[in-house]
Amino acid sequence: MRAYFIESFGSGGLTCREVPEPEPGHGELVVEMLAASLNYRDLLMLRGQYDPRQKLPLVPLSDGVGRVLAVGGGVSDFSVGQRVCPIFAQEWLAGAPSKVRLRSTLGGPRHGTLTEKMCVPASAVVRIPDQISDAEAATLPCAGVTAYNALVTLGQLRGGESVLVQGSGGVSVFALQLAKSMGAQVIATTSSDEKATKLRELGADHVINYRTETRWGTKARSLAGGDGVDHVIEVGGSGTLEESLRAVRPGGNVAIIGILSGGKGEISLLPMLMNQVRLQGVMVGARETFEQLVRCIAANQIHPVVDEVFDFEQVPEAFQKLESGKHFGKIVIRVTR
């Protein structure tokens, strides 16, 4: 079988090579991968920017879906042929996060999903119903779970509330789809008319072009009605937080799910203090949250937005597409031939 490895940091350090077939240990499954999906984290990992101390070689990628190929001893609730997604933080099954749980993530420090076969604990996968396609399922473990965790598990979204999503990356698009399926009003920001059209097709009630509307936070607040937006899905970090804090209502939530525009910067805490706003860091989520996401996706026939599907041999091109920022939704790798 083949697997990709980061042998050294930098895009040249990614290679695909033959490795021995995995055998399931006690309590484990061997999963034959069908598809995998890219996150921005994977790009940072490849560049050595995510965690420079990460041991190499490392099988990259956190997201994927496969079919159970072999079942280890002591496993009674899975059988060969079932489709499953390995969860991102392999030891975070339910409850609060912890250091140990947050260090058990795929695609670093643990080997990831960009492989033809992988071995995982049977406790660390989620079953995928038939109506979700392979490519769609591959997008769920990080982006889908993060959006559900931010809005529902942590955010306790209610029907009729307003949600502000930024741009058209994976989590943002999931948040848009999930929020609409739960009866919320969605305001999306983007920089292009083409993406604006797609966002509206996905159900966005309002789209703001943040290039022409630089005070987009104030605009979002007025579009939301009342005192402002109930939930902001903040992907930019310090570069966008100021506007997010303009958008959100007193007592509202800002979920920090990414820091694309910079993790460090001049941030004023005053508005969040004065308006009793909550900033909630979101680090993907537990298996329990993933299971609830799957139910929500299935019950509401939500189709995760797949930007493009690349072949297993085209991984470098897939990374380039991610790096270009021109994607809308998720970039997927087809693993099986």
Contacts with its own copies, residue ranges (CB under 8 A)? 25-27, 73-74, 93-99, 101-102, 152, 156, 158-161, 178, 181-185, 227, 237-238, 241, 249-251, 256-259, 263-270, 272-283, 286, 288, 292-300
Residue 296 Cβ, how far from its own copies at the closest point, in Å? 3
The Cα angle at residue 282 between residues 46 and 96, in degrees rounded to 5: 115
Tokens standing for residue 261: 């525009």
- Judged by beta carbon, residue 1 or residue 44, the one nearer its own copies is 44
- Judged by beta carbon, residue 265 or residue 325, the one nearer its own copies is 265
Helices (H), 76-159: 99-102, 134-138, 145-148
3-state secondary structure of 291: helix
- Judged by beta carbon, residue 27 or residue 48, the one nearer its own copies is 27
Residue 12 Cβ, how far from its own copies at the closest point, in Å? 27
Residue 273 Cβ, how far from its own copies at the closest point, in Å? 4
- Judged by beta carbon, residue 250 or residue 325, the one nearer its own copies is 250
- Judged by beta carbon, residue 16 or residue 260, the one nearer its own copies is 260
Tokens standing for residue 130: 């038939």
Rg (CA), the chain: 20
Cβ-contact 54, 8 below 8 angstroms: no
How many C-beta neighbours within 10 Å does residue 269 have? 10
Cβ-contact 110, 30 below 8 angstroms: no
Residue 147 Cβ, how far from its own copies at the closest point, in Å? 11
Residue 98 Cβ, how far from its own copies at the closest point, in Å? 5
Inter-helix orientation angle 40-47/315-324, to 10°: 110
Cβ-contact 330, 306 below 8 angstroms: yes
Residue from 332, 319, 293 nearest 47 by CA = 319
Residue 322 Cβ, how far from its own copies at the closest point, in Å? 19
Cβ-contact 179, 233 below 8 angstroms: no
Backbone angles phi, psi at 152, to 5 degrees: -105, -60
- Judged by beta carbon, residue 10 or residue 265, the one nearer its own copies is 265
Residue 223 Cβ, how far from its own copies at the closest point, in Å? 13
Q: Which residues contact 127 (CB under 8 A, 6 or more apart)?
A: 82, 83, 84, 294
- Judged by beta carbon, residue 259 or residue 333, the one nearer its own copies is 259
Length of the chain: 337
- Judged by beta carbon, residue 154 or residue 333, the one nearer its own copies is 154
Query: What one-letter code names the amino acid at 313?
Result: E
Residue 292 Cβ, how far from its own copies at the closest point, in Å? 6
